[in-house]
Amino acid sequence: MTQRVVSLIASATEIVAALGCADRLVGRSHECDYPPEILTLPPCSSPKFDIHGDSRQIDERVKATLTSAVSVYNVDTAMLESLQPTVIVTQSQCEVCAVSLKDVEAAVCELVSSRPEVVALEPNSLADIWADIQHVADALEIPDRGRELIARSQVRLQAIRQQALTRRGSFPPARVACIEWQEPLMAAGNWVPELVELVGGENLFGAAGKHSPWMTWDELVAADPDVIAIMPCGFDIPRAHDEMHWLTSRPEWTELRAVRTGRVSLTDGNQYFNRPGPRVVESAEILCELLYGDAASYGHRGTGWIPFVSAEEALV
């Protein structure tokens, strides 16, 4: 029987496509948007809260929703039933990132007559991302393709690492602050600290393999990073730019070393850093460009990231 796959997490959709099985996808989450051809698939989830608003409002709505729910998303059980999937891919890592495993299991056990296999991913580190790719490949009954994709990705990361170390030379590593949410402040955790270290930087906030931590403004000021990379979860570059007032309105902002030296960048966190899938390699390339500029160009400037320019600077 031909497999019918529903992916309820954006990174898993990318994994399925990278494994050459996009034609098996019959449904997606409301957040899945890459590769572009999957946009024709029906969404099988929706947020339980109003996604419009600024960083602070969204944070408050998410926290309020989680006081009475397992996750912040709904599963469209009627759509799942109509699609009759044989495999559903979700995650058990974060109730904010995607539909929760408990929600999917409840829907499958009670309402989906096709009794699909539920594949739950749990990416907390680079090693977990490789394991999840293999997990999906095994469920799709193409284990060799999984091993090949992992090997290619790791070879590319090693090449990026070598170029970064060559560019850095004998200079000390740049001290990097990766910001995953602007209000309240949150640092990037999980696999991002590993990527920073891989490209020769010193990660200042967030620990490899652990959830993204809240941080304070005072901590950011005290650390005084050389480089600040803005990568809000679920935001593209224009949306990240719109939220910069939470930082730029602080009187100490202009005194930060990264600001004074023009080393603050806005990245597309939604497409890259927040997605634990094949494009984690491109995320490393972007970090390499942020640290070494034109000396390590992979062509992501303007699409994956841009230098941050304040409204005042733009008028000069």
pLDDT digits (tens, 9 = 90+) for 276-302: 999 999 999 999 999 998 878 899 999
For the chain, domain boundaries = 5-122, 148-315
**Percent of the chain at pLDDT above 90?**
73
User: For the chain, how long is the longest CA-to-CA vector?
Assistant: 64
Average pLDDT of the residues of the chain = 90
Q: What is the pLDDT of residue 315?
A: 36
For tokens 């990527």, what's the residue? Answer: 195
Integer CA distances (angstroms), 297 to 87, 128, 167, 292, in order: 39, 28, 11, 8
Quote the radius of gyration of the chain (alpha carbons, Å): 20
Q: Do 5-122 and 148-315 fold alike per CATH?
A: yes
From the list 183, 195, 266, 185, the residue with the least C-alpha distance to 227 is 266
pLDDT of residue 105: 65
Res. 316 pLDDT band, cuts 50 70 90: very low
Average pLDDT over residues 112-116: 76
Q: What is the pLDDT of residue 34?
A: 96
Task: Please tell me the least confidently modeled range out of 13-27, 52-66, 144-158.
Answer: 52-66
pLDDT, average across residues 206-215: 94
Q: Of 199 and 296, which is predicted with more confidence?
A: 199
Torsion-angle region of 187 (φ positive above 0: left; ψ -120 to 50: alpha; else: beta): beta
Cα separation values, 240 from 86, 190, 266, 291, Å: 37, 20, 7, 20
| Cα→Cα distances 231→26, 105, 238, 241, 273, Å | 30, 31, 11, 10, 7
CB atoms within 10 A of CB 97: 21
Beta strand 45-47 with 73-75: parallel, antiparallel or unpaired?
Answer: antiparallel
Least confident of 11-15, 67-71, 179-183: 67-71
Q: How far is CA 206 from the centre of its chain?
A: 15
Q: What is the pLDDT of residue 33?
A: 96
State yes or no: pLDDT of 236 exceeds 90.
yes
pLDDT value of position 199: 97
Token pair 């019959």 is found at: 26
179 pLDDT higher than 60? yes
Residue that is written with structure tokens 């998303």 in the block: 73
pTM assigned to the model: 0.92
Question: Are 301 and 291 within 8 A, CB to CB?
Answer: no
61-89 pLDDT, tens digit each = 877 766 765 567 788 889 998 999 999 99
Cβ contact 133:140 at 8 Å? no
**51 pLDDT more than 80:** no
Query: Would you say residue 104 has pLDDT above 70?
Result: no
CATH numeric code, 148-315: 3.40.50.1980
Question: Which amino acid would we find at residue 224?
Answer: D
In the CATH scheme, what is the code of domain 5-122?
A: 3.40.50.1980
